[in-house]
Homo-oligomer: A and B are copies of this chain.
Amino acid sequence: MKPLTSRQQEILEFIRQFLEQEGFPPTLAEITRAMGLKSPHGVREQLQALARKGAIELIPSASRGIRLLNKVAERDALPLIGKVAAGRPVMTEAHIEKYCRLGPELFQNKADYLLRVQGMSMRDAGILDGDLLVVRQTTEARNGQIVVARMQDEVTVKTLRVEEAMAYLEPANPDFPIIVVDLAKQDLAIEGVVVGVIRTRIG
């Protein structure tokens, strides 16, 4: 598929949202209004461009005759990361075990991937061995958030606390030690923030 211009992406996103919200696609006039335009013809040309590029299908003469291609189902599938090889970023093609469909209506925050938990270091936060963490991929995190962090070879999930040049990765289990990172001496890469937990096995 040919690349979309930013305007075309904007319009495509509006159609997607309208469809989700209303249950049917918008009319040309509705898109025109939403984009702050004054004539529906500009929109029409954009839609024809989107159709040429394979993003949508236009049904001639039909009101609201816009059909989204590129199945939505694929958009809603999250990659499941099983085991992370030492020294490599978490979200890597090679780590993907399978894809899981998860409707976005469940989580407030956008989710990017699932990560299987190893060990009981976050037990008291209700995160158990084998649980799947729902992770938003980001390098920014606030104090108190549960993060996926990487230090050289090791990937760990802990509560983040940063004070001046020191970072503390705190477990939620008294049997485990707090990991102290001197940011001046050691690298600490934030790979993502935990936005949800899924447990698929009980007992």
Chain A residues packing against B (C-beta within 8 Å): 19, 22-25, 27, 59, 63-68, 76-77, 98-103, 105-108, 123, 126-128, 131-132, 144-146, 194-203
Complex: chain B residue closest to A197, CB-CB: B199
Q: Can you list 20 contacts pairing A with B, beta carbon distance less than 8 Å?
A: A23-B67, A63-B64, A77-B103, A98-B105, A102-B103, A102-B106, A106-B132, A108-B200, A123-B126, A126-B126, A144-B203, A145-B203, A146-B203, A196-B198, A196-B199, A196-B202, A197-B199, A197-B202, A198-B198, A198-B199
| B106 and A202 within 8 A (CB) | no
In terms of DSSP, what is the predominant structure of the interface of chain A? Answer: loop
User: Across the interface, do B126 and A27 meet the contact criterion of CB distance under 8 Å?
Assistant: no
A158 → B minimal CB distance (Å): 13
